[in-house]
Structure 1
Amino acid sequence: MSTGPSFWRGTESGAEIAVAGSVVVKRHRPGTPLTERLALAADHPAFVPPLRSTPLTDADGRPVTLWPRVPVLDPNDAEHPWVEAARLLARLHLSPAPAGLPRHGWAQRLARVRNRAPAELVPLADRLLAQLAARAEPARLVHGDWHLGQLGHWTDGWRLIDIDDVGLGDPAWDLARPAGFWAAGLLPDDDWDAFLDAYRAAGGPAVPRHGDPWPVLDLPARCAVLVAAVHSGGTADALVEACRRMAQ
């Protein structure tokens, strides 16, 4: 019986994933910088470690990485580990940033989404891209594409998976998805409060320890809502309606 990958599943970012027994094989977007990111994931306790700390190259020249197959959090589960996730992100954001990491991947993600957006949302995407380009950011270590589906269960509990957009920048981007979904009415107040309170209690540097976090989170949250709305293909009415309000 073959132990090779039987099929490839595409991701929203343009990467492809296949499973071969206990191994997850990921074929990344061409040109994705992976050497420093893999080295970080191999050593940092916030990440599920790769099976190889250096990338491979497939026959088409695309970079390939190998990972252990781990249980991944299902965002559709009734209960979510918001407190554990917040502490994990705070731990990452407080870690020293290793040399050689690129910037996080939100600018590229937003540009890809702009090219797929329906005509009514293109002006909003252009405005957010301009605001992102003008944004002065610190150089902290960030995941770059965090949401609940980026949690994998390792031997010591939940850890981060997916290193494609790990890099330097403002840690507020890692709070963008829950912040945006809460603002759009898709995340209950109790979940958002538990996440934000746990992040602050753990010393997370993305938001002030006290007071209104929204001046920091506003732009990342708006970008996250737009990205999610476009990825939904217009089927997530609450997200699309939130985008329309932002575009006014």
Structure 2
Amino acid sequence: MGERTDGGSADAGLVAALTAVGRRIVGEREPAAAVVLSARHDRLLVRYGDAVLKAHAPGTDPAQLALRLRLAADPRLSDSLLAPLPIPGADAPGLLTQARGRLVSAWPVGIPLYPEDPTAVPETAVDDLPWEQAAALLARLHAVPPRGPVPPARVRRGVERAMAKLSGLPASAGNDPAVGEVLAAYATLPPGETAGTHRGAGTGPGPGPGARPCSSHTHTARTTHTTRMTHYSTRVPPTPTAGGVLVHGDWHLGQLLRLDGQGLRIIDVDDLGAGDPVWDLARPAAWYAAGVLAPAAWGRFLRGYTAAGGRAVPPDADPWPVLDAPARALAVAYAANAVADSVLTGVPLDSVSRAFVDCCRRMRRL
């Protein structure tokens, strides 16, 4: 985990408890001051020496998190996923402990590639980002068959939380046209189907590698057909299963960490598990669909993924029959979060947020 700060005040008692866990890991040979890297309502990151302690969200299932940490510690994933640090005295598998009623894991120190909000990337910096490397990390992650029981990847969580946030706005927010656009787009995601399993069956031809499914270019001769999206959710068993494809579950640019002398690694295992790997490509696909990510950068990412053997999309065919439903679902989620924040703070939507709302408008008209 890396040097990053964001808003929110840290619970001093929890910071002290995490610092104590840090001492168990690095010892007193190099006494260090604790540094709060990130404080949010659902998690706290504290650096102590060469370790970063993470207090996971209240209510996190300890058995499921232990399985996720065990997966992340698999040496076969060492070239793609950041491995947790052992915690002396921790319960089996030695990677998870508790502090002030919160589950705590420990991680190596690194430098985040970019902010947690991937839409904060300046347009001038897009071409400089290591899209091919990032895509290759995902391809390697998806290629390793997991051993033992595997929890379900929580690919739906971001969409569910975003819509809950939007639905929880005051009744007066219903007069905001942007709220209506997002809710209408969300309603176009029909229940009862599973994204990624139909691989385009019943949806007609996709928009193709050079077109954006939510952009103004969708109204072409190729895509004026009536689109029936597959459902954004993934049907996964409520309990761990054996095998399947290992999926990060919440991948974006903020989930990349640069380790000294080792290159990039993927971080954050809170949603790691078995699922459809197409969801790990869905966020950049949503950025591209909304016009936030440039075609050149999207092409580099997609080519990097398939060149590295990625299995989520066909290497020599139109990827959009596979990407369409998850990309639309995450575009809706981005818009929902942005609109809810705008209503709650009174701050107008910025150009990026407006792009996702516009994407929702076009989506429901297809």
Q: How high is the TM-score relative to the length of structure 2?
A: 0.61
Query: Does the aligned pair in 2 maintain the 1:6–1:20 contact within 8 Å?
Result: no
**Aligned position for 1:9:** 39
In the alignment, structure 1 residue 23 sits paired with structure 2 residue 51: yes
In the alignment, structure 1 residue 139 sits paired with structure 2 residue 239: no
Point out where structure 1 has 5 or more consecutive residues left out of the alignment: none
User: Percent identity between the aligned chains?
Assistant: 39
**Equivalent of residue 224 in structure 1, options 326, 330, 333:** 330
**Equivalent of residue 156 in structure 2, options 91, 107, 112:** 107
Query: Does the aligned pair in 1 maintain the 2:51–2:109 contact within 8 Å?
Result: yes
Using the alignment, how far apart are the partners of 1:136 and 1:101 within structure 2? 11
Query: Does the aligned pair in 1 maintain the 2:135–2:305 contact within 8 Å?
Result: yes
What letter is aligned with 2:46? A
In the alignment, structure 1 residue 160 sits paired with structure 2 residue 189: no
Using the alignment, how far apart are the partners of 1:103 and 1:26 within structure 2? 21
Deviations 1:9-58 (A, max 9, x none): 117xx333233343222111222421111112122211122112521112
- Which residues of 2 match residues 142-221 of structure 1 at below 5 A? 142-154=247-259, 155-221=261-327
What letter is aligned with 1:157? G
In the alignment, structure 1 residue 241 sits paired with structure 2 residue 302: no
**Equivalent of residue 186 in structure 2, options 121, 125, 136:** 125
The more displaced of 167-176 and 17-26 is 17-26
SS at match of 1:106: coil
What letter is aligned with 1:41? A
What letter is aligned with 2:109? R
**Aligned position for 1:42:** 73
Give the superposition deviation at 1:8.
Answer: 5.2
Compared CA separation, residues 58 and 97, structure 1 to 2 (3 A): same
**Equivalent of residue 55 in structure 1, options 74, 96, 103:** 96
What letter is aligned with 2:359? A
Query: Does the aligned pair in 2 maintain the 1:145–1:174 contact within 8 Å?
Result: yes
SS at match of 1:194: helix
Give the superposition deviation at 1:133.
Answer: 4.2
Compared CA separation, residues 143 and 237, structure 1 to 2 (3 A): same
Point out where structure 2 has 5 or more consecutive residues left out of the alignment: 1-30, 87-93, 168-178, 192-230, 238-242, 343-348
Query: Does the aligned pair in 1 maintain the 2:140–2:310 contact within 8 Å?
Result: yes
Compared CA separation, residues 88 and 245, structure 1 to 2 (3 A): same
**Aligned position for 1:72:** 112
Give the superposition deviation at 1:225.
Answer: 1.3
State the Cα RMSD in Å. 2.5
What letter is aligned with 1:39? R
Compared CA separation, residues 193 and 25, structure 1 to 2 (3 A): same
Give the superposition deviation at 1:7.
Answer: 7.5
What letter is aligned with 1:95? V
Compared CA separation, residues 58 and 5, structure 1 to 2 (3 A): farther
Give the superposition deviation at 1:204.
Answer: 0.6
Compared CA separation, residues 16 and 7, structure 1 to 2 (3 A): same
SS at match of 1:34: helix
What letter is aligned with 2:106? L
Compared CA separation, residues 88 and 133, structure 1 to 2 (3 A): closer
The more displaced of 111-120 and 95-104 is 111-120
Larger Rg: 2
What letter is aligned with 1:56? T
Using the alignment, how far apart are the partners of 1:133 and 1:182 within structure 2? 21
Give the superposition deviation at 1:89.
Answer: 0.6
SS at match of 1:26: strand
Query: Does the aligned pair in 1 maintain the 2:247–2:274 contact within 8 Å?
Result: yes
Deviations 1:119-156 (A, max 9, x none): 52335435537223476999311111111111111232
SS at match of 2:111: coil
